[in-house]
Amino acid sequence: MTSLMISNALLWVLMLAVIVALWALARQVGILYERVAPMGALVTDAGPKLGDLAPRFELPALNGSLVAIGGEQPKSQLIFFLSPTCPVCKKLLPVLKSASQAEREWLDVVLASDGEATQHLGFYGSARLQQFPYVLSADLGMTYRVSRLPYAVLIDERGVIRAKGLVNSREHLESLFNAKELGVGTVQDYIRDRVATQPGETA
């Protein structure tokens, strides 16, 4: 009987040790996730703020149509700033096309740049961008303080700026969609808030 009681006590001690080890492991995984979590688009403080109404523009596109940017729209708008001489922009075009197709139920993509139309028509055709309206406006870029490319701004159906930033990869682009879906300014904000409210942290 004594040996049975001792073995039961040892089993309970072992179980408690396993529980403590699992809790410590889960905590370390959370810390590691915070450190290596996917980074979202690089948000800058310049230009209109997240949550502001987007400035309203009506701009002619290369295909002859008139494109309304900002204001109430049937779908959200992704304004993607690019240049024919930007290698990262060209690299992201297949990703942009794929994302546009996947998110077509709620999203319209507008390409934006500046300069003369003759500088862009060849690129517009060779890159097969006819599925997107392509507008040229120095005022649009200056309004959003676009200093580096590629840069994107996500505007919701009510004309509110929901996400923006420098996008150098698929993950950066998708982070704009995730930010809108989660109702946060940036994915980084969401991760930081989640870590801060985990057990053992100050909410």
pLDDT digits (tens, 9 = 90+) for 136-152: 999 999 999 999 999 99
Of 10-14, 51-55, 195-199, where does the model show the most confidence?
Answer: 51-55
Instruction: Identify the residue with better confidence: 12 or 85.
Output: 85
Residue 107, helix vs strand vs coil: strand
Categorize the per-residue pLDDT at 46 as very low, low, confident or very high, splitting at 50, 70 and 90.
confident
- Prediction pTM value: 0.73
Token pair for 27? 């905590």
pLDDT for position 34:
44
For residue 58, the one-letter residue type is: E
- pLDDT tens digits, residue range 162-198? 999 999 999 999 999 988 888 776 655 544 545 455 5
Average pLDDT on 82-102 reads 95
Instruction: Please give the Cα distance from 41 to 43 (Å, whole number).
Output: 6
**Burial (CB count <10 Å: 0-12, 13-18, 19+), residue 143:** middle
* DSSP designation for 125: H
User: What is the spatial distance between Cα 95 and Cα 11, in angstroms, rounded to a whole number?
Assistant: 54
